[in-house]
Amino acid sequence: MKIDGQTRLYILIGNPVAHSLSPLLYNAAFAACRMNAIYVACPVEPEHVGEAIEGLRALNIAGVNVTSPHKETVMAYLDQISGEAALVRSVNTIVNRAGKMVGETTDGRGFMADLGERAPSVKPGDSVLLIGAGGAARAVAFALVQNGFHELYIANRTVGRGRFLADILQCSVHEAHCRVIGLGQEELRDALNACRLLVYCLTVDLEPVKAVLQDHASSLVDKVFYDLRYSPAVSETAALFRNRGGIAINGRGMLYHQAISAFELFTEQRAPAEEMLTAYRKAHEREI
């Protein structure tokens, strides 16, 4: 890789970021396209988000990915926000368009593409238990209801945040029917029994969820657990789900698919999907 005075810089901001596979995916893509660009991960504390965005402008950073916990807070500092990102109040991609910082979201697209590939038996019409209501959860939930998954249970620690999500979903897609619950074991158990697909959008493994899976009387063989996280490759919660016979998927494929969309927004050229896939598979082999 050549780094010189014209190298364009792309970054990831969030906290933590050390586990991220994004540098690997984007640097493979830049190399494949012979672009004079590099991608690095920068940890940013919540109190420094505004300064970080000002820094992007000052340093003319070409593009940024945003991860937890900043997907919502960055929005206040941007010049423009795409319709979908504004609706779900979540930005995971910032494109520098001639000095204007434009917020986009590619999480929903990435999730749906990966779900279709890795859990083809899950079909529109199946009920979904979404655990979490943060930035990624909102983007994923919106993609689900837009793609025909109209029956949604939304479980979140801050129930008001869950209600807010239910409201935007039901206003945008009239067929959507959302029930908002907290993280109590009984309500989680009922929702688990009613749903075919569980989408885990939290940053941490939660005791009540683990307890429900541990104590679950019947097999989970017909159910799919999609954990947005990918480091470690199999979370504690995913392992419990698998022990009960269910299919557990991690978020690595979602990362790959959302990175393809973000690369195309950054560069306005087709992403080198094969080379990105090779980089992704190498990382996958290392950890499984």
Closest CB 284 distance from ligand NAP, rounded Å: 13
Question: In this complex, which beta carbon is closest to ligand NAP, that of residue 71 or of residue 150?
Answer: 71
What residues contact residue 68 under an 8 Å CB cut-off, 6+ apart? 14, 15, 134, 135, 136, 203
Question: In this complex, which beta carbon is closest to ligand NAP, that of residue 125 or of residue 232?
Answer: 232
Site for ligand NAP in 172-211 (CB under 6 A): 201-204, 206
CB atoms within 10 A of CB 29: 25
Question: Which residue has its beta carbon closest to ligand NAP?
Answer: 134
CB atoms within 10 A of CB 18: 8
Site string for ligand NAP, 90-109 (x = CB under 6 A): -----------------x--
Are 235 and 227 in contact by the 8 Å Cβ rule? The answer is yes
Closest CB 75 distance from ligand NAP, rounded Å: 12
Are 98 and 121 in contact by the 8 Å Cβ rule? The answer is no
Question: In this complex, which beta carbon is closest to ligand NAP, that of residue 151 or of residue 227?
Answer: 227
232 binds ligand NAP (CB under 6 A): no
84 binds ligand NAP (CB under 6 A): no
Cα–Cα distance list, 175 to 111, 160, 163, 183, 283 (Å): 21, 22, 17, 25, 40
Residues 114-121: contacts with CB under 8 Å, at least 24 apart: 114/249, 114/251, 114/253, 114/254, 114/256, 114/257, 115/197, 115/226, 115/249, 117/253, 118/249, 118/253, 119/197, 119/224, 119/226, 119/247, 119/249, 121/224
Site for ligand NAP in 125-164 (CB under 6 A): 132-137, 156-158, 161
230 binds ligand NAP (CB under 6 A): yes
Residue 168 corresponds to which tokens in the numbers above? 């935007």
For ligand NAP, which stretch binds (CB under 6 A), given 1-9, 232-240, 254-262, 269-277? 254-262
**Catalytic-role residue among 71, 100, 123, 282:** 71
Give the binding-site size for ligand NAP (rule: CB under 6 A). 28
Q: Which of 258, 260, 266, 283 binds ligand NAP (CB under 6 A)?
A: 258
Closest CB 224 distance from ligand NAP, rounded Å: 16
Closest CB 132 distance from ligand NAP, rounded Å: 4
CA-based nearest residue to 71, from 257, 264, 208, 258: 258
CB atoms within 10 A of CB 274: 10
Name the strand (E) or helix (H) holding 70: none
115 binds ligand NAP (CB under 6 A): no
Residue 177 identity (one-letter amino acid): H
Q: Is 100 a catalytic residue?
A: no
For ligand NAP, which stretch binds (CB under 6 A), given 43-51, 144-152, 190-198, 226-234? 226-234
For ligand NAP, which stretch binds (CB under 6 A), given 41-49, 53-61, 184-192, 247-255? 247-255
Q: Could you tell me which residues are beta bridge partners of residue 93?
A: 65, 104
Binding site for ligand NAP (CB under 6 A): 67-69, 71, 107, 110, 132-137, 156-158, 161, 201-204, 206, 228-230, 251, 254-255, 258
Residues catalogued as catalytic: 71
